[in-house]
DNA sequence: CCTCCTACCTGTACAGTGTACAATTGTCAA
DNA sequence: TTGACAATTGTACACTGTACAGGTAGGAGG
């Protein structure tokens, strides 16, 4: 109940709004009441991360190739994290040895094992893959949080003008790419590309082994 | 001078030690003195990120292939960030439109341009590449910061025992990979692999275009 | 019925955070 | 000598996480 409220609050007003006083006031109790259920705020955050992990759909299509299975799994993880944009960062820092995290790791290792990777290699790749996916969400450009979009597109316009006004002899590529650099990225395109890049890397590493 | 002191303090005692009172006391000055030079603490952190960016060696070997150039550049960025383990996280959050960041982006775009990518594609890839490299450092496993290594290897041992004690019918892969999962990673191997994975992805994307 | 135990919560307090605002110093040009 | 300016100080405020001690409801066992 507490972590659900915390997640809701974080999603509604950003992770920095999740303060003990704020959260407990929301629930109509005293700040110190929280410490009966959690030893510290950090433990609460850990609980939030664990809850997010549990939302990931871990089912795999047994008839698909391991590449397709991996893409599906990482894709479902990605979509879960995209539903929790401001709490996704919790997964990147926290060790996350929760039930959900273990199960997710198990499935990824299994898929990679069937892809021909040894346990050691699979471990390395799984680590990078999970970390890369959360990094994708956390690092999404142009998510300037809670400012109205009017300010946002204005900032984009000023960014483009700034880039275009750079000395072309020193920054030819920046000037050339001023528009794509400053324009807001379509989220679907951005995430699809990130996933493609990651999977391309993994598949290439697999191919090199043969 | 201020950002140098802040960087030194962060490196010596962790980023959370960089508090305004602590930093200014270190310099023999009053907390509010900082606000003459920076509008806010966030601006100070931005300055720190910018300073780190400037350390990156941006020279490229003109006789090398674009793949080699990219590897060298990202590698030098990686080594700079590894020198600042506890401040590297600043680069991942901050927009970093500093001089150094612009120059780095320019060089990466240039290399990718010679790799056959359009400005738009190069922009996408550059974003992911820079973000992935900082993510590599920030997400390095087993950097439990400032605890003595005695506690660390003990924690590793307990992690391994825990993984091995999981029900093998539910978590066969975790049990199988208990050792690589719990063992400390050799940093050089870890980072080399991360870089390989990233570059393999980029090169594969380049090859697919032809 | 009374007592005790346990689960849960409250009240108060403390040290630490970033920073607004006004007053103060040192230094150098007119 | 008088300003003007850069740089710093002093005080204060609202906020953070949390230690510690005490309270309260409800049910089990005597």
Q: Give the residue, B158 or B34, on which the prediction is more confident.
A: B34
SS3 A176: helix
| pLDDT(B85) > 80 | yes
Looking at residue B60, its pLDDT comes to 96
Cα A21 off chain centre by:
27
What average pLDDT does this structure show over B101-118? 95
Protein residue minimizing CA–C1' distance to C20: B32
SS3 A94: coil
Q: Which one of B142, B181, B199, B208 would you mutate to disrupt binding with A, by most A Cβ within 10 Å of its Cβ?
A: B181
| pLDDT(B39) > 60 | yes
Spacing of B30 CA from D10 C1' in Å: 10
SS3 A148: coil
Q: Give the residue, A144 or A31, on which the prediction is more confident.
A: A31
Q: Which residue has the tokens 């990130």?
A: A194
Looking at residue B29, its pLDDT comes to 96
SS3 A196: helix
| pLDDT(A5) > 80 | yes
| pLDDT(B30) > 90 | yes
- Distances B84 to A91, B2, B92 between C-alpha atoms, Å: 22, 17, 13
What average pLDDT does this structure show over A91-102? 84
Q: Do B128 and A200 touch (CB under 8 A)?
A: no
Give the separation between CA A122 and CA A119, rounded to whole angstroms.
5
| pLDDT(A56) > 60 | yes
End-to-end CA distance of chain B: give it in Å, rounded.
Answer: 50
Q: With bands split at pLDDT 50, 70 and 90, how would you rate the model's confidence at B48?
A: very high
Residues of A in contact with B190 (CB under 8 A): 124
Q: Which residue has the tokens 């944009």?
A: A85
Burial (0-12, 13-18, 19+ Cβ within 10 Å), A149: exposed
pLDDT winner (highest mean) among A3-17, A92-106, A159-173, B177-191: A3-17
Q: Which one of A91, A165, A166, A180 would you mutate to disrupt binding with B, by most B Cβ within 10 Å of its Cβ?
A: A180
Span of A74-78, A92-96, B186-190 with lowest mean pLDDT: A92-96
B-proximal residues of A, 118-147, CB under 8 Å: 119-120, 122-125, 127-128, 131-132, 135, 138-139, 141
Contacts with B67 (C-beta within 8 Å, 6 or more apart), sequence order: B115, B199, B203
Q: With bands split at pLDDT 50, 70 and 90, how would you rate the model's confidence at B167?
A: very high
Min Cα distance A28 → chain B (Å) is 31
Looking at residue B61, its pLDDT comes to 96
Q: What is the 3-state secondary structure (H, E, C) of chain B?
A: CHHHHHHHHHHHHCHHHCCHHHHHHHCCCCHHHHHHHCCCHHHHHHHHHHHHHHCCCCCCCCCCCHHHHHHHHHHHHHHHHHHCCCCCHHHHHCCCCCHHHHHHHHHHHHHHHHCCCCHHHHHHHHHHHHHHHHHHHHCCCCCCCCCCHHHHHHHHHHHHHHHHCCCCCCCHHHHHCHHHHHCCCCHHHHHHHHHHHHHHHHHHHHHHHC
The percent of residues in chain A predicted with pLDDT above 90, rounded, is 77
Looking at residue B13, its pLDDT comes to 95
Nucleotide nearest to A27 (CA to C1'): C9
Enter the DSSP assignment of A32: G
Please check whether residue A138 is in contact with residue A83, taking contact to mean a CB–CB distance below 8 angstroms. no
Q: What are A153's two structure tokens?
A: 């597109």
End-to-end CA distance of chain A: give it in Å, rounded.
Answer: 50
pLDDT in tens, B62-82: 999 999 999 999 999 999 999
pLDDT in tens, A144-202: 544 555 666 777 888 889 888 989 999 999 999 999 888 878 899 999 999 999 999 99
A161 touches chain B (CB under 8 A): no
What average pLDDT does this structure show over B125-132? 95
Enter the DSSP assignment of A31: G
Q: Which one of A139, A161, A195 would you mutate to disrupt binding with B, by most B Cβ within 10 Å of its Cβ?
A: A139
Residues of A in contact with B196 (CB under 8 A): 205
| pLDDT(A1) > 90 | no
Spacing of A10 CA from D21 C1' in Å: 32
Looking at residue B56, its pLDDT comes to 96
Q: With bands split at pLDDT 50, 70 and 90, how would you rate the model's confidence at A47?
A: very high
- Distances B49 to A8, A89, A122, B84 between C-alpha atoms, Å: 32, 19, 33, 10
In A, minimum Cα distance to B201 occurs at A201
Q: Would the CA dihedral through B19, A93, A118, B207 be positive or negative?
A: negative
| pLDDT, chain A, mean | 91
B-proximal residues of A, 69-88, CB under 8 Å: none
């Amino acid at each position: 109940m507490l972590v659900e409220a915390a997640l809701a609050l974080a999603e509604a007003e950003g992770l920095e709004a999740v303060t003990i006083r704020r959260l407990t006031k929301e629930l109509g109790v005293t700040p110190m009441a929280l410490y009966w259920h959690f030893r510290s705020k950090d433990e609460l955050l850990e609980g939030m991360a664990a809850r997010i992990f549990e939302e990931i759909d871990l089912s795999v299509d047994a008839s698909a190739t391991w590449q397709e299975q991996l893409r599906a799994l990482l894709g479902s993880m990605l979509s879960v994290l995209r539903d929790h944009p401001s709490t996704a960062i919790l997964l990147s820092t926290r060790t996350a040895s929760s039930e959900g995290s273990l199960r997710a790791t198990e499935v990824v290792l299994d898929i990679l094992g069937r892809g021909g990777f040894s346990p050691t290699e699979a471990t390395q790749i799984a680590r990078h893959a999970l970390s890369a996916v959360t990094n994708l969400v956390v690092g999404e450009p142009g998510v300037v949080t809670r400012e109205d979009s009017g300010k946002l597109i204005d900032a984009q316009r000023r960014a483009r003008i700034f880039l275009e006004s750079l000395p072309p002899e020193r920054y030819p590529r920046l000037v050339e790419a001023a528009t794509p650099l400053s324009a807001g990225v379509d989220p679907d395109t951005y995430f699809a590309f990130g996933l493609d890049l990651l999977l391309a890397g993994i598949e290439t590493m697999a191919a090199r082994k043969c």
